[in-house]
Amino acid sequence: MSEPRSDLSLADFRPRPALVRKETSIDKPRFPVIDAHNHLVEPFGGGWDKKPVSLLIDLLDEAGIRVFVDLDGGWGENVLHRHLDYFKAVAPERFVLFGGVDWDAWPEQGDGFGEWAARQLRAQAARGAQGLKIWKGFGLQVHDQHGQLVTVADERLNPLWATAGELGLPVTIHVADPVAFFDPLSPTNERWEELHAHPDWQFPSPPFPSFLSIMDGLANLVANHPQTTFIGAHVGCYAESLQWVSQLLDRCPNLYVDISARIGELGRQPYSARRFFIDYADRILFGSDMGPDLEYYRLMYRFLETDDEYFNYGLSEIPAQGRWYIYGLYLPATVLEKVYYRNAARVILNRAE
Ligand SMILES: [Zn+2]
């Protein structure tokens, strides 16, 4: 006879909540939606450049997504062209494409990098890019011609941000987040399983700057460029502290946030999150960041629209960002309409609707 088990590994733990819960399925969002943060190609978007665009449009129709913002335009003409020709040419009203910055050119451009990047942005805009995406390597892995880390508020980049403002292109920016990726991979790290599976997602400080010093840089960047519209990705890059994000929103009217890939964070602080949505209803943009995925869109609608309790914030059995569940926010219709559509229409499409 085998001994009764006295221990269980975390990976084998599969608790099934005994709680009897209401489960609402929302097939269509209450209002049309602009997905302000998503991707269409690998590694984040699911390779839609290899499938017929008509299938994608059917999926977006089914999901109630009227406009899809694809952040994968990059900087190479080929990438931008491919997306513009493949997706936008088929349905110009349905797709918006953001360009990017080629940081690898810094050593060659030296202190003139900011001017050079600004010229690149003008060229991208002329070809049809409608915004600029700054990826998380900024503040962590971008180096100048001397091999020094470029900080987020580095003044050499002023021409780039000023040009985005002048052209009316919003800058979707992701820095630092999440906090736990800066903490040691110890049993107290709430994202231990995720970091264990992806060791390269850790940014221990040192050698990396601390989380809060990067966030200070973001705050300074946004405050220093009031003419430029910034969209802080993933709830302003600090969904773990809505207090911090609220303070920056109060200080900087040119800042907006998207909620992409962070219903796990928002939904575990439902009282604060609901207040946050109501207080900043004009500043929050819907975004998914999970590729065009019908099931995930519906999960987001359930989170935003219902008062369902204690449900999985992801599509896998064990939620990827940590072993907790979330609570719906049952947002008022006026707030939903702004978050789903109106804010992004104003900020990204320059349309007051
Ligand atoms: Zn993304």
Q: Tens place of pLDDT for every residue, the chain, 353 residues?
A: 566 677 999 889 999 999 999 999 999 999 999 999 999 988 888 899 999 999 999 999 999 999 999 999 888 767 888 888 899 999 999 999 999 999 999 999 999 999 999 999 999 999 999 999 999 999 999 999 999 999 999 999 999 999 999 999 999 999 999 999 999 999 999 999 999 999 999 999 889 999 999 999 999 999 999 999 999 999 999 999 999 999 999 999 999 999 999 999 999 999 999 999 999 999 999 999 999 999 999 999 999 999 999 999 999 999 999 999 999 999 999 999 999 999 999 999 998 76
Strands (E), the chain: 33-38, 65-70, 95-99, 131-134, 171-173, 230-232, 255-258, 284-285
Place of tokens 């998207």: 258
Whole-number Cα distances in Å, 122 to 45, 138, 144, 162: 26, 20, 22, 11
Q: Supply the DSSP string of 291-307, one letter for each residue.
A: -S-HHHHHHHHHHHH--
Q: Distance between alpha carbon 325 and the CA centroid of its chain, in Å?
A: 20
Question: What confidence score (pLDDT) does residue 35 get?
Answer: 98
Residue closest to 142 by CA, chosen among 179, 107, 178:
107
Give me ligand 1 centre to Cα 39, in Å: 7
Give me ligand 1 centre to Cα 134, in Å: 10
Tokens matching residue 260? 């992409």
Give me ligand 1 centre to Cα 29, in Å: 21
Give me ligand 1 centre to Cα 70, in Å: 9
Give me ligand 1 centre to Cα 4, in Å: 46
Question: What confidence score (pLDDT) does residue 2 get?
Answer: 63
Residue closest to 86 by CA, chosen among 75, 97, 76:
97
C-alpha span between 353 and 337 (Å, rounded) = 11
Give me ligand 1 centre to Cα 23, in Å: 28
Give me ligand 1 centre to Cα 38, in Å: 6
Question: What confidence score (pLDDT) does residue 353 get?
Answer: 64
Give me ligand 1 centre to Cα 286, in Å: 12
Give me ligand 1 centre to Cα 138, in Å: 14
Contact 26, 302 (CB under 8 A): yes
Give me ligand 1 centre to Cα 102, in Å: 17
Give me ligand 1 centre to Cα 317, in Å: 22
Give me ligand 1 centre to Cα 183, in Å: 22
Q: Which amino acid is at 284?
A: I
Give me ligand 1 centre to Cα 336, in Å: 22
Q: Which amino acid is at 254?
A: N
Give me ligand 1 centre to Cα 37, in Å: 6
Contact 204, 182 (CB under 8 A): yes
Give me ligand 1 centre to Cα 52, in Å: 22
Contact 67, 57 (CB under 8 A): no
Beta sheet of 284-285, edge-to-edge order: 33-38, 65-70, 95-99, 131-134, 171-173, 230-232, 255-258, 284-285
Question: What confidence score (pLDDT) does residue 92 get?
Answer: 95
DSSP 266: H
C-alpha span between 231 and 251 (Å, rounded) = 14
Tokens matching residue 293? 């995925």
Give me ligand 1 centre to Cα 292, in Å: 12
Residue closest to 68 by CA, chosen among 80, 76, 56:
56
C-alpha span between 310 and 260 (Å, rounded) = 20
Give me ligand 1 centre to Cα 18, in Å: 34
Give me ligand 1 centre to Cα 289, in Å: 5
